[in-house]
Amino acid sequence: MNTHDSPAASGDGVGTAGTPATGPSVGDVCDTMVVSRRHVVAAAVLFITFVIEAWEQVGLVYVSGGIAADFGISNTELGWALSAVAFGMVPGALLWGVFIDRLGRRRVTVYSLLLYAALALLAGISPEFWMFLILRLLSGVAFGGVYATTFPYFMELLPTAWRGRGAVALSIGFPVGTLLCILVSQALGPISWRVVAIVAALAGLWAFAVIRWVPESPYWLAKQNRHREAARVLRGFGAAVPEDTLFRVDEQGAGGVVRGLFAPAIRRRFALLVLVAFTFSWGYWGLQTWLPVLLEDRGMSVSGALWFVAVSQLVSVPGYLLAAWLTGRYGRKKVFVGFVCGAVVGGVLFGLATGPGQMYTGNLILAFFSLGAWGIWNTWSGEILPTSLRGRGYSFTTSAILLAHSVSVPVIGAMMDNGVTAGVTIASIMAFLIVALLAVFPLPETEGRALD
């Protein structure tokens, strides 16, 4: 392993804050770069990282009955327990956001994974509910760094022509993680929900794969005036870049400082990013987390509900693949709007279903389009802000996603505890998707554009 690629690597002394930029930008190099073997290896490692993220977000949903029985808690308390990691990731993403643009994408990913592993392991063996809740919350704070970093990090390693398709394809890690979680829950859940929690915690050791096979972002290195290291990373990806290249960098933004997000040229885009992230997340997670319960309320068995969720996740894979192909052909905005409209249609059909056929069809349509839309959003939202603000800005949008996730789960749990019908509950969730749909129209298209 090259010492310059280690998480603790420092600058190599090439370039200073005042060095004039005489060469191309990293984006210019990425415009002409082609996919190499090292891209594939880095993609595979970050794909598994996203699988771990997806697993953790739904990690204990499918053994929630065991948690409730073990601790003797209500649906509302269970909702808080299931959303504790997401709730912790809200301040966690913001906290790690301070370091993403200062320490780099790689170090934050590694440190976040390792700290999460330790705290999640302690949560899995907690004897009391209050201790379990606090440790799950803290493990979410730790995991916020991974959540806020993975997509910007991955996009900053890719050739421009492959960025949209590659990042949407990375999103397939979500159904893979969910399916893996279901399989592990079914295999180990009968032993104890704690075994499932411990297995999930140990996945944090994947940090060592990131250390070994994924280099630091060349965009970030160039922004830090570490031009020689940026050139080395790009050459590793197959680009013909001289070692002494001084890259031109975009000076827009203030090195990740929060006030840069409220500069006149940035603030409108930033506000819309946060609004879409919050409403889209509420619309998706509000239904997804309680889907097994809603299916059981409609007469499906517990095992039947779990396998139906699994089939829904499988259906989402072609949704992601179609979204990846379409976004490279027609751009982010048109395809995102079309997929969100499809998700709303599926959600309405599921909510108004009067028989099993309509219920199954509605949820499969919802899964296909909503997760395809997530793939596009994960990419698009990471492209809109300049490199100097990308890490901090993405940490705010991911915090909005997580805040909606963590609040929607207990709110909907309380609605069900108070006798609100499934149809009304689902209608309230779909309203958030409609708001997200309207809020994306002013956002700029980014397909084919080099990152700033």
What is the percent of the chain with per-residue pLDDT over 90, rounded to a whole number? 38
Predicted confidence band of residue 13 (pLDDT cuts 50, 70, 90): very low
Instruction: Output b/e per residue, 286-323; b: 16+ Cβ within 10 A.
Output: bbbbbbbbbbeeeebeeeebbebbbebbebbbebbbbb
Q: Give the whole-angstrom CA distance, residue 129 versus residue 65.
A: 14
pLDDT in tens, 107-121: 999 999 999 999 999
Mean pLDDT throughout 202-222?
A: 96
| The token pair that represents 13 in the structure block | 């002394």
Q: Which of 77-86, 272-281, 329-338, 418-427 has the lowest mean pLDDT?
A: 418-427
- pLDDT for 303 equals 56
Entry pTM: 0.79
DSSP string, 333-392: HHHHHHHHHHHHHHHHHHHH--SHHHHHHHHHHHHHHHHHHHHHHHHHHHHSS-HHHHHH
How many residues appear in the chain? 452
- pLDDT for 108 equals 96
CA 446 to chain centre: 19
Predicted confidence band of residue 257 (pLDDT cuts 50, 70, 90): low
Residue of 86, 104, 29 whose CA lies nearest to 390: 104
**What fold is seen in the domain 22-439?**
Growth Hormone; Chain: A; (1.20.1250)
Kindly give the residue spans of alpha helices, DSSP state H, lying in 125-266: 129-155, 160-170, 173-188, 193-202, 207-213, 218-223, 227-236
Taking CA atoms, 420 is separated from 40, 411, 416, in Å, by 48, 11, 5
| The token pair that represents 350 in the structure block | 């599921």
- pLDDT for 252 equals 57
- Counting Cα atoms < 13 Å in the Cβ hemisphere of 49 gives 33
Q: Give the whole-angstrom CA distance, residue 20 versus residue 200.
A: 48
Q: Give the whole-angstrom CA distance, residue 51 versus residue 181.
A: 10
- pLDDT for 261 equals 86
Q: Give the whole-angstrom CA distance, residue 378 versus residue 164.
A: 10
- pLDDT for 236 equals 94
- pLDDT for 17 equals 43
Predicted confidence band of residue 22 (pLDDT cuts 50, 70, 90): low
- pLDDT for 46 equals 96
Q: Give the whole-angstrom CA distance, residue 86 versus residue 81.
A: 10
- pLDDT for 76 equals 75
